[in-house]
Chain A
Amino acid sequence: MTQLSITSLSKSYGSFKVFDGLNLEAKAGEIVVIFGGSGTGKTILLRLIAGVEEPSSGVIAIGGHDVSDIAPEHRGVGMAFQNFALFPHLSAAENIATPLRAAGAAEDKVKAGVNKVAKLLKIDHVLTHAPRELSNGQKQRTALARALAAEPQILLLDDPLRNVDAKLRFEMRLELPRLLRQSGATVLYVTQDYKEAMALADRIAVLAGGKFVQTATPEDIYMRPATLGVARLFGDPSINTAETSLEADGAGVHVTLGGTRVQVAADYKAHAGEAVTFGVRPESVDVSADSGLAAEVVAVTPLNERTVLLLQTPSGWEFLASLPSSAADIPEPGAKVFARFAEAGTHIFDRQTGERLHG
């Protein structure tokens, strides 16, 4: 069942268009991550849904009803922010209680609601504390508890892990899906961290240039990116690229990388002659082959359990390979190797439009 639907939504400030004609549907209980760089309008989108700002045009419907004329507090929406935004003069319990009180709940209902959500988020032992007495992790949980307290149909989370340390961010990333599912709410989750997006999302909506350039499962976003821009945003190190063109002859279809012809899937034949950007993910580069693209290892940079090689072809094309650090025979700087590219991580994009060609 569609719980949230956004149709032809546009927002401008004067002549500045933040976005134009956004469409998005989210099913009940679904976690949709809104992913994009800073300044792409992610937070503004949440504010429009919450009702604290008005769209320039378009329709937002919750549970099948247009909410244009419904006040924020009656939309069934809960929201948590990256800076927590707790009321400093209220205890954690009173902070969590605010949406329940705003909805006019009776005192015993308020108490029960606060206790239930505090227990879920493991902050029931600090409910009497003022925000300044809470650790960053507890503040963040309190903010989340407040957003969940009134059992909203729609939960809007604006980069909630941004201001907590790396360890806590990692722990929360593992814990959040279970919490969110228990709440039953439909979640729109804003982040700039691709790992967080992939880890938490049922679907990811990539916002860039005022549009959703791709809305799909993490698997589709990573394995079948719609554009070069999307491919670059997901993955660390990010995808290697080279500008080239597709050529076909009797031997098959190939591109030229650093002066060497490299065979690609025959399915690209329909695009022969086109100017393209060739892309290959670092983890899809195999350097243990005894033939392929000749390259020299410039530098070896171990990253935790993976090791990244900076490689260069004789004509100067630089690219990265990422191997498990446990791999046998990781080459040394100066070593000459041959690279081969696994098809699953190889993508070819139209050089003009940036769109991925379907091989």
Chain B
Amino acid sequence: MAELIINKVDKIYRSRKGDVHAVKALDLTVKPGEIVALLGSSGCGKTSTLRMIAGFEDVTNGTISLGGKAIHTLAPAARGVAMAFEAYSLYPPLTIGENMSFALKASKLPQAEQEKRVKAMAEMLEIADILNKYPSSVSGGQQQRASLGRALVRDAGLYLLDEPMGQLEPQLRAVLRGRIKHYLREHKCTTILVTHDQTEANALADRIAVMEGGVLQQYATPAELKARPANLFTGTFIGEPPMNVFNAEVKSNAEQVSFVVEGGTTLSYPAAQMSESLRQALGKTSRIALGIRPHALHLGEGPVKGKVVACQWLGDQTHVAVDVAGRTVVSVSQERVSRAPGSDVALNVAARDLHLFDPASGNAIAHGGQPA
């Protein structure tokens, strides 16, 4: 259990075609025992960051320390870091069991203890029945679990998990997420997982570092990211289905604050639902980007009028797409609803569910009637 501090780290890949600035002035602290997800789409810099922490890439600028010790100049094996690779990287001539116990060889643990640990880990990951098989004879999902097991079975100051669950069988994934989260907590493992899958990041992480274009966009708990996105990028990136965003004009007076949305719909709220400081801030701007999450857009009465494009029930929720003045907005209900395509509907959204952004910079202005 150790604290990881990434301090002003840059990664620049030099080449004759020009330099690629993959990670830009990254500051990130992971507390002892904390589970942090680096989340972003491909090319956002998350994997470069992971590889610099592991020691497979040099840092161009900045420092990385683990448990108070600078590690960015050490060889990978000297860093006290255990890693599960996206491509599994299991040793082909060793069985699944040998792959897992290989990680314990250097540990000086008694043989019996090593075996006990491997067995317990294999049971947790549901691979106890394939310990005698070779990697090439098991499925991708099983190899991925073996790779994860090989990393977690070790004692390490830091665990790095690269897309650890992408290939897992859907029927197992949810249970394994729960078991792995429980294991990491019980053993107080300081963990960084890299993923492009926000579901996985939300499920496992205490905090999520959202990256885009080599820049850390926001570092916050899953609940904060949802409720208070720092900018339009995070707002639209986090949340499934994605946030509906409208260009709108602000019109306010002493009694109410109104947003005139492109296409003509006007959303009006009593001024009391917006804080004084927000109203002052809004007084200076006329145009905003208005974000409304699909789960906060409710079918029923309301000022937003449109025609149903599709109404799709998925078992535990219903997605309703509505054409509002030529554009499709999405409403999600946790209940089962049925609306015929083509039928007229009205939608409403509460002031507490509005996200306001500056359309030029993308930075958040307000969430739920309070300044951001």
Contact = CB atoms under 8 A, between A and B. Distances in A.
A26 interface: no
A212 to B, nearest CB: 20
B310 A235 contact: no
Interface residues of A, number: 43
B178 A299 contact: yes
Contacts of A174: 309-310, 312, 319, 321, 328, 330
Interface stretch (A48-56, A124-132, A152-160, A303-311): A303-311
Contacts of B319: 174, 199
A354 to B, nearest CB: 14
With most chain B CB atoms within 10 A of its CB, the pick from A200, A218, A235, A298 is A298
A320 B321 contact: no
B321 A301 contact: no
Contact of A175 (B185, B202, B309, B317): B309
Interface size class of B (residues with CB under 8 A): 35 or more
A302 B222 contact: yes
Contacts of A170: 240-242
Nearest to B176: A310
A89 interface: no
Given A302-B223, A310-B174, 9 more contacts: A174-B321, A175-B328, A218-B313, A299-B185, A304-B198, A305-B317, A305-B334, A308-B174, A320-B174
B174 A237 contact: yes
A223 to B, nearest CB: 9
Contacts of B295: 305
Interface of B: 170-171, 173-175, 177-179, 181-182, 185, 198-199, 202-204, 222-223, 239-242, 295, 309-310, 312-317, 319, 321, 328, 330, 332, 334, 341
Nearest to B294: A305
Query: Chain A interface mostly helix, strand, loop or mixed?
Result: mixed
Contact of B341 (A178, A237, A298, A300): A178
A285 B56 CA distance: 45
Contacts of B317: 305-306
B198 to A, nearest CB: 8
A218 B319 CA distance: 14
A204 B310 CA distance: 18
Most chain A Cβ neighbours within 10 Å, of B174, B222, B240: B174
Nearest to B199: A303
**Interchain residue pairs A-B with the least CB separation, the first 7:** A310-B178, A237-B174, A301-B203, A199-B312, A299-B178, A174-B321, A299-B182
A226 B328 CA distance: 36
Interface string A276-316: 00000111000000000000001111111110111000000
A171 B330 CA distance: 10
Contacts of B328: 171, 174-175
Contacts of A237: 173-175
Contacts of A232: 171
A200 B317 CA distance: 15
Nearest to A174: B321
Nearest to B315: A222
Interface in A179-202: 181, 195, 198-200
Interface of A: 167, 170-171, 173-175, 177-178, 181, 195, 198-200, 218-219, 222, 232, 234-238, 281-283, 298-306, 308-310, 318, 320, 322, 324, 326, 333
Contacts of B202: 301-304
A235 B316 contact: yes
Contact of B181 (A198, A301, A304): A301
A309 B177 CA distance: 10
Contacts of A333: 182, 185
A187 to B, nearest CB: 15
Contacts of A234: 315
Contacts of A305: 295, 317, 332, 334
A83 B313 CA distance: 28
B341 A304 contact: no
A304 B316 contact: no
Contact of A301 (B177, B223, B315, B334): B177
A238 B181 contact: no
A353 B132 CA distance: 31
6 contacts: A171-B328, A222-B315, A301-B202, A305-B334, A320-B174, A324-B334
Given A173-B312, A177-B310, A236-B170, A308 B199 contact: no
Contacts of A306: 316-317, 334
A27 to B, nearest CB: 18
Contact of A320 (B170, B175, B312): B175
A218 B240 CA distance: 22
B98 to A, nearest CB: 28
Contacts of B171: 232, 238
Nearest to A310: B178
B114 to A, nearest CB: 25
Contacts of A322: 316
Contacts of B310: 173-175, 177-178, 199
A308 B178 contact: yes
A165 B300 CA distance: 32
B181 A299 contact: yes
A195 B295 CA distance: 18
B315 A198 contact: yes
B178 A198 contact: no
Nearest to A306: B316
B337 to A, nearest CB: 13
Contacts of B178: 298-299, 301, 308-310, 320
Nearest to A282: B174
Contact of B174 (A177, A200, A218, A236): A236
Contacts of A195: 314
A304 B316 CA distance: 13
Contacts of B179: 298-299, 310
A227 to B, nearest CB: 14
B128 to A, nearest CB: 15
Contacts of B175: 237, 310, 318, 320
B203 A308 contact: yes
Contacts of B341: 177-178, 181
A308 to B, nearest CB: 6
A152 B159 CA distance: 55
B174 A238 contact: yes
B314 A198 contact: yes
A292 B79 CA distance: 49
B83 to A, nearest CB: 23
A308 B239 CA distance: 16
A167 B242 contact: yes
